[in-house]
């Protein structure tokens, strides 16, 4: 496991960024079925800049690092995706302001703030068939595992499992937000690219954490 909270956060962000880049085509194809068809491209373009500018970011604290990522995202990911991912990183950074080391409770609070930021900025709720339908259950699972005495790896593993389970479950739903919602019943039996992205990111973080 990395030795400090900053290193932990850096690990997670690097995995999220690399997952976005590696799955650019896949996420775009999913979005192209009933959506705008640009989700994967937008995500990859923004997170690739984070990796390119990695050494120029302020790594002195988790807060400063995450807020720096938020600024890059706001400049390089357009549309709704840009605004919600910026809100996610900004809320995450603000939630750990002044904290050098994070407790498990701090991490739960940070994840909750990410979900809240996305919900507030995007206007979506659970059940609308968005990335929240994978993210919120993942946070719930993480928190439950920690409260039941599980360690960080176990919490991340259960979070990843919950995210994937709900990404799969939401395939049967009718989309209520975004371009996909305009297609009505046609959006049934299609994956939400945001939910799939969250599940894939969570799984990759779980794998990387186990190796760190």
* Percentage of residues of the chain with pLDDT beyond 90: 80
pLDDT tens digit string along 156-210? 999 999 999 999 999 998 888 666 665 767 668 799 999 999 999 999 999 999 9
Residue 182 has what pLDDT? 54
Q: How confident is the model at residue 87 (pLDDT cuts 50, 70, 90)?
A: very high
Residue 73 has what pLDDT? 98
Residue 90 has a CB neighbour count (10 Å cut-off) of 21
Asked if residue 3 has pLDDT above 50, the reply is: no
Cα 39–Cα 42–Cα 47 angle in degrees, nearest 5: 120
Residue 90 has what pLDDT? 98
pTM of the model: 0.94
Residue 157 has what pLDDT? 98
Q: Residue holding tokens 């068939």?
A: 129
Q: How confident is the model at residue 78 (pLDDT cuts 50, 70, 90)?
A: confident
Q: What is the mean pLDDT of the chain?
A: 93
Residue ranges per structural domain of the chain: 5-211
Question: What sign does the dihedral 150-156-161-165 (CA atoms) show?
Answer: positive
What integer is the mean pLDDT of 62-67? 98
What integer is the mean pLDDT of 11-16? 98
Asked if residue 1 has pLDDT above 50, the reply is: no
Residue 211: exposed, middle, or buried by beta-carbon count in 10 A (0-12, 13-18, 19+)?
exposed
What integer is the mean pLDDT of 120-131? 89
Closest CA to 37 of 178, 169, 206, 175: 178
pLDDT tens digit string along 91-118? 999 999 999 899 999 999 999 999 999 9
CATH number listed for the domain at residues 5-211: 1.25.40.340
């Amino acid at each position: 496991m990395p030795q400090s909270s900053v290193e932990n956060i850096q690990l997670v962000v690097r995995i999220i960024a690399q997952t976005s880049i590696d799955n650019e085509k896949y996420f775009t194809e999913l979005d192209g079925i009933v959506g705008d068809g640009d989700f994967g491209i937008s995500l990859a373009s923004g997170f690739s800049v984070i990796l390119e500018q990695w050494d120029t970011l302020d790594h002195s604290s988790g807060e400063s690092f995450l807020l720096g990522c938020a600024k890059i995202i706001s400049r390089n990911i357009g549309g709704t995706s840009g605004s919600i991912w910026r809100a996610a990183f900004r809320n995450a950074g603000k939630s750990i302001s002044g904290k050098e080391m994070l407790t498990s409770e701090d991490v739960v609070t940070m994840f909750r703030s990410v979900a809240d930021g996305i919900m507030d900025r995007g206007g979506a709720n659970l059940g609308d068939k968005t990335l929240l339908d994978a993210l919120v259950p993942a946070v719930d699972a993480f928190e439950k595992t920690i409260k039941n005495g599980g360690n960080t790896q176990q919490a991340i593993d259960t979070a990843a499992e919950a995210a994937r389970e709900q990404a799969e479950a939401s395939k049967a739903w009718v989309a209520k937000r975004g371009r996909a919602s305009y297609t009505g019943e046609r959006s049934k039996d299609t994956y939400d690219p945001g939910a799939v992205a969250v599940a894939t990111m969570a799984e990759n973080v779980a794998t990387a954490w186990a190796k760190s």
